Chain A
Amino acid sequence: MISLSWYLGLSALLFTIGAIGVIIKRNVITIFLCIELMLNAVNLSFVSLSSYFKEISGQLFVFIVMTVAAAEAAVGLAIIISIFRNRASLNVDEADNLKM
């Protein structure tokens, strides 16, 4: 039996890699992929805590998180398509109309 801390440590590591990706990457699709990675890292900690406490609610949270991730991917990719149509570029630094 593996202790809970290993799973939580792996989850934290994956979340950190995703957060670093969101910060350092300039391609909007790669940023989106890193957000999916962060969601998945959180799912891993939900499932490991659910298994540790023998409580099924954690797995139901993962179910809801996956649904929200699917909705987010659909809307986000539609936004990416319309940004690309207007600017012909996927670089987030060029989409700065709302910047002060």
Chain B
Amino acid sequence: MEKVLFIIFAVVAVLSALNILLQRSPLYSALSLIGTLASVSALFVMLNAQFIAAIQIVVYAGAIMVLFVFVIMLLNEPKGVPHIDKQRGLRFLAIPFAGLLLAEAFYVVSSVQLQQPATLSKVENPDQAFGTTWSIGTALYTHYLLPFEVTSVLILMAVVGAMVLARRDGD
């Protein structure tokens, strides 16, 4: 079962990575990269890295790729914009996919079992907590506190640098 899942996600990752090279328009390349990121995130879950997988979806596929798509739209190469009229068939695919997503959400909500907060915060066996927020947070705020703080300075520098670089001269 695990091997089948690995093969599925690996094939999806490699095919969408190759699709980045084959597409001429950067917008389609960005969308294929999201496919690669999502399947690599699924592999992270299989490797006991649940927190990293969630961060991968939220930060990479969410924030960074939205930034890319914004810039592609802003620079507006004439070939880079897809024609909506040609993709009328996608409209009929949207409803089954939305239904699938809704069914999945209902399944997750109905199958989850609420626990008392006291049992959630206590971790008896550190080996079982590998890859959860508990183990990552413990290591990040003890052994790796200095790199974590330096990272915040890096982000601040990137914010200031991006604003200076993208500003027009007249402003």
A interface residues with partner B (beta carbon < 8 Å): 1-2, 6-7, 10, 13-14, 17-18, 20-21, 24-25, 27, 29-30, 32-34, 36-37, 40, 43-44, 47-48, 50-51, 54, 56-57, 59-60, 62-64, 66-75, 77-82, 84-85, 90
Q: Is the CB of A44 within 8 A of B43?
A: yes
* Structural contact, A67 and B151, CB atoms closer than 8 A: yes
A30 touches B67 (CB 8 A): no
Enumerate chain B residues within 8 angstroms of A18, measured Cβ to Cβ.
17
Neighbouring B residues of A20 by C-beta, 8 Å: 21
Q: Is the CB of A2 within 8 A of B127?
A: no
Contacts A10-B14, A78-B161, A79-B165: A66 and B56 contacting too (C-beta < 8 A)?
A: yes
**CB–CB A33/B151 < 8 A:** no
The tally of CB-CB contacts under 8 A between chains A and B is: 167
In the bound complex, do residue B47 and residue A71 qualify as a contact, i.e. CB atoms below 8 Å apart? no
Find out whether the CB atom of A63 lies under 8 angstroms from the CB atom of B136. Answer: yes
Given contacts A44-B43, A51-B47, A77-B67, A67 and B155 within 8 Å (CB-CB): yes
Residue of A nearest to B36 (CB): A37
Take A73-B64, A74-B158 as given contacts and tell me if A7 and B43 are in contact as well, using a CB distance cutoff of 8 Å: yes
Q: Are B6 and A33 in contact (CB under 8 A)?
A: no
Among B81-89, B90-98, B106-114, B139-147, the one that faces the other chain is B139-147
Q: Could you pull out 17 A-B pairs where Cβ atoms are within 8 angstroms?
A: A2-B2, A6-B6, A14-B14, A33-B68, A34-B21, A51-B47, A56-B136, A57-B144, A60-B147, A64-B151, A66-B55, A71-B157, A72-B158, A75-B158, A75-B162, A78-B166, A81-B75
Bound: A75/B154 CA distance, A: 11
Contact present for B136 and A54 (CB under 8 Å): no
In the complex, residue of chain A having the shortest beta-carbon distance to the beta carbon of B59: A66
**Chain B neighbourhood of A17, CB < 8 A:** 14, 17-18, 20-21
**In the complex, chain A residues whose CB is within 8 Å of the CB of B6:** 2, 6
A21-B21, A37-B20, A51-B48 known; A44-B40 Cβ under 8 A: yes
Beta-carbon contact of A84 and B75 below 8 Å: yes
Partner of A47, one of B33, B49, B151: B49
* Top 8 closest pairs, chain A to chain B, by CB: A71-B158, A78-B165, A78-B166, A78-B162, A51-B47, A29-B26, A74-B162, A17-B17
Select one of B18, B74, B154 contacting A71, CB under 8 A: B154
> How far apart sit A53 and B39, CA to CA, in the bound complex (Å)?
23
